[in-house]
Amino acid sequence: MDFERLAVENQEPEIVETEDEIRAKLTERFSALNLISQQTVNGKNKALIVSGPAGVGKSHNVLQAAREFEKRGGKVGVIKGFCRPTGLYRALYDHSAQNDVLIFDDADSAFGDPVSLNLLKAACELSENRRISWMAETKMLTDEGDRLPRTFEYSGNIVFITNIDMQAAVDRGHGLAAHFDALMSRSLYIDLGMKNKRDCIVRIKQVVESGALSSHGITSTDAREILGFVEENSDKLRELSLRLVVKIGHLKRNNPVQWKSLAKVTCVR
């Protein structure tokens, strides 16, 4: 499955908003993300889905809440990259205790397999007793060599951080729409509301203005110059993300005179 295409194709018709309206929208949604991710990690919600384009800071709030939870003795698992149904079943088992947390950070392969989706739907049920089963012949073992049970009670909490716009997929009747709809009905769903380049640029501006990029060695003066370059070349850049700003920041720090020409060579299509 082409997940990148699924994340961006057939988006809603563009609504022309002022920059102030976009800022207000993003502030509201990222504030909600901050609050609800903390509540989910701390066991007040069973499941949360966070949907938005790559490189806009989706993971930051969730992982920050998870680190704080771990400091208080909580158990957190983070899945990134490829995940088979067997690996998913084991991960759910390993984090099945009351208030354990399992975070899927751009592990979108789990959403492309109906078996994995059925496991996730069972884990996200709103009922108090969530039972997960594996009735295939495949034998799975724990780290100690014991066989995993074919069924177990799941009492943990799950956060999905994904580039897939599940609501858009449901609205247009995608092949996995029924699964996505079922997951969303069992979870709190936050769409970060970035549907076009302008939304992404405003989000980058907000982060630059907050001074958050100083942790990457990017001064406020450099950040403003880089932002000007990004806006000027927004139609030609390979991506519009905070990662791009950090990459250009490193080029500027290492090549204070040539950074723009180097950025055009490395970041522009």
The DSSP secondary structure of 134-167, one letter per residue, reads: --SS---B-TTSPBPPSEEEE--EEEEEES--HH
Contacts of 27 (CB under 8 A, 6+ apart): 206
E strand or H helix at 228:
helix 220-232
pLDDT digits 0-9 by tens, 192-244? 989 899 999 999 999 988 888 888 888 889 999 999 999 999 999 999 999 99
Closest among 19, 17, 155 to 98, alpha carbons compared: 155
Are the CB atoms for 146 and 166 separated by under 8 Å?
no
- CB 223 within 8 Å of CB 262: no
**Which helix H or strand E contains 90, and what residues bound it?**
helix 85-94
pLDDT at 168: 92
β-bridge mates for residue 105, sequence order:
161
Q: What's the farthest any 2 CA atoms get from each other in the chain?
A: 63
Write out residues in the chain with pLDDT < 70, as ranges: 1-15, 141-145
Provide the pLDDT for residue 142. Answer: 65
